[in-house]
Structure 1
């Protein structure tokens, strides 16, 4: 029995050693489990914070997308308005070019008319000069004829002939205004 008791004690010692080993292993496993849980919890917290951060980024990007879409729509509206305005300006430019061409044509016509009128004016001025020269010549000729008639009348008056009466008639013919005053 002593042997059995010794065997039992040996078994108990082995069991105690095994229990201690198992308890150490269990404690080590519990520590590992706690560490793993802490790590998992920290990883979960970290992943949750990343998810929250990513969701915030998504919300910001969604807001930016909305703003950019509204800006895009606004820019499209502006582009359409500018295209219409450009078309109107282009049409106005074409109209202005056409009107400018018409004005140039009218200006050329007016230049031709001006040159024609300038030529006519020069011709008329030449005609006026010719008529004035002829008038001067006729006035001189008239004065010359008048002086001859007066000279003839004076000679007849000096001669004192009977034809004095005719001389007076001639004088009246030469100066009708003087005879009207006498009458």
Structure 2
């Protein structure tokens, strides 16, 4: 009987040790989860900041494009006016030709600038799409990590109830007279 009691005490101490290990593992996993959540949140905030800055950059480029279009329209109007003057003013033909050529050169430069800005806008939109995809991937990764931690917690809870059941069996074996009296 004494040997059984000693064996039971040894089993109880082993179970207590395992319970302590599982609790420390659970705490470590919770800490890991919290750390992972904080990192993911920081990454999401950073990516959102980048997206916002890129959107502001696109708005600035759109404003510049609008200004360039207005300038192009104005230059086209100027070119038409100069063509009309040219027909009326033959004396200043040479000066008007030079001015007209300058306006055409500016218009071509503006067209080049316009195309460059459109390319930059396309690249910025592609970057935004890439960042949004990265954000979605990080959110999915975060959800996956949460699911893993919840599964671990459930497994630990199941282990806890199984250990409680074993503890009851051990208690019944340790005190068989009490269970007989209850019956």
TM-score range, shorter chain: 0.3 to 0.5
Larger radius of gyration: 1
TM-score by length of 2: 0.43
